[in-house]
Structure 1
């Protein structure tokens, strides 16, 4: 048997980038999948390819999260693995962040983790090996200029992860975070485009500047992040909890 046979994994933001790589990796190891996202087309296409379920929902809205979980359970049974992957990044000098921008970053990067985790928790506690893995960022471990709201939200995610891991330490549920550095996704492509527009450099030069944060001199691949997530989800990873796994090529935190 594949190690995740019999498990039901929910992946938020699962239609592209890191979320899609995680979905493919978990499915390859036998998990039944529910992909949740705001954009129907990408999650429906991937869910069809992986014989999973797609649920269109805004994970910053608790009522939509509860409805999505009910749909997921009806399709695939109780949730045993929750991957909190949905997120977004905005780059703005701190003095120019307005309340709406601050709230956007908190809503998608922190509030959504709270809503999804709390909604799935009864199922996870009842599972023989419940797993919660949140895709955070190296911004959960250190600061970056011009990303104060994003970094604050990701630091909050790590605090939530560590606190909940201790709260659930006497159960079968583990709670961990993975913290990728700059990863070859649409978010980094948008960041590179912004750098190029502001600085006059080419998009390739802007991507190279982001890659230089990694001592290995490259962007992380979504598949590398997915491999670490899979390891944390395996049944024999039950003693690993409350951790923040940096996937960053040796970048100093």
Structure 2
């Protein structure tokens, strides 16, 4: 059943962290939401929470690094809802280590998940949603997409790539009235952040708690960002109030990066 008057958002990596927070926020703003992720269990938990708010929700298990799976998932969303107004490319992963010893397969997996997926999903949405219905394309990059992140060359390269893609696509789609922006979180308190702290604790030879303190000391406001704070930026950029903003990479980082 389709409803052309209903706002629809498609979110990748929607089962947890920033993706889940964004789904909740957009649902509260009146969007029907389509949730994509690899974990069906996480998607079902998120969808139950959104349905409790009275929203229409659909979920799709999808590996966003596969163009074939992406295209099938996007077509299913359009068939269900009739259109897509807002795309949030959020799926991503961390990982890295010393570049000289980094496994080639890990490099490819990070680039595929973080960067290539943004191209695959965006391309499919552009080709499958009806003309004139898509209004906003957002991608979650990182402050690490504006400066290097030590022991995270693949991650940083992928996020730099997202920002470059965003700026180029914004120029291409501006005549069609489609805004394209990147959101650049700093250190956000998510499961991925927990894994990253564990990795840095090993590299630095300290406890995980000490690694957390070291990281927080780098942030001017002295703490990790909450996923809901990133979701608030997503909601603003997806709103009619932000129609004049495109081609930007906006930080949500507690002052970590003033660039």
Judged with a 3 Å threshold, the aligned counterparts in structure 2 of structure 1 residues 129 and 10 are, in CA distance, closer, same or farther, namely: closer
Q: Is the 2:12–2:35 Cα contact (8 Å) retained in structure 1?
A: yes
Unaligned runs of 5+ in 2: 52-56
How far off its partner does 1:200 sit?
Answer: 4.3
Q: Which runs of 5+ in 1 are unaligned?
A: none
Does the CA-based 8 Å contact 1:125-1:173 persist in structure 2?
A: no
Q: Distance in 2 between matches of 1:195 and 1:173?
A: 39
Contact 2:83 2:130 in 1 (8 A): no
Q: How does 1:96-135 map to 2 (within 5 A)?
A: 96-122=101-127, 126-128=131-133, 130-135=135-140
What is aligned with 1:13?
Answer: 13
Q: Secondary structure, in 3 states, of the residue corresponding to 1:58?
A: coil
1:159 aligns with 2:179: no
The CA deviation string for residues 7-27 of structure 1, in whole angstroms up to 9 with x for no partner, is 110110001000000000000
Deviation track 1:189-241 (CA, whole Å, cap 9, x = no partner) reads 01112233444433222111122231111101100000000000002311100
Aligned counterpart, 2:40: 40
TM-score of the superposition, structure 1-length normalised? 0.94
Higher mean C-alpha deviation, range 29-38 or range 199-208: 199-208
**Equivalent residue for 2:242?**
237
Structure-1 residue corresponding to 2:54: none
Match of 1:177 in 2: 182
The separation in 2 between residues aligned to 1:124 and 1:133, in whole angstroms, is: 16
Contact 2:33–2:58 (Cα < 8 Å) also in 1: yes
Match of 1:60 in 2: 65
List aligned pairs for 1:59-78, cutoff 5 A: 59-78=64-83
Check whether the contact 1:33–1:76 (CA below 8 A) recurs between aligned residues: no
How far apart in 1 are the matches of 2:98 and 2:162?
A: 22
User: Structure 1 stretch 216-225 or stretch 201-210: which is displaced more?
Assistant: 201-210
- Distance in structure 2 (CA, Å) of the matches to 1:80 and 1:97: 39
What RMSD in Å do the two structures reach over aligned CA positions? 1.5
Secondary structure, counterpart of 2:218 in structure 1: coil
Instruction: Give the CA deviation at 1:121.
Output: 1.1
Q: Distance in 1 between matches of 2:179 and 2:49?
A: 29
Say which SS state the counterpart of residue 219 (structure 1) adopts: coil
- Shift of the alpha carbon at 1:122? 3.5
Q: Which moved more, 1:152-161 or 1:68-77?
A: 68-77
Q: Post-superposition, which runs of at least 4 consecutive aligned residues in structure 1 deviate over 3 A?
A: 122-125, 197-200
Q: Secondary structure at the match of 2:175?
A: coil
Residues 122-162 of structure 1: CA deviation (Å, up to 9, x unaligned): 45672356111101001111111111111111111100000
Aligned pairs, number: 249
Identify the range of structure 1 (190-199 vs 91-100) with the bigger mean alpha-carbon deviation: 190-199
The answer as to whether partners of 1:19 and 1:85 remain within 8 angstroms in 2 is: yes
* d(CA) in 1 for partners of 2:80, 2:134: 20
* Other structure's SS at 1:169 match: helix
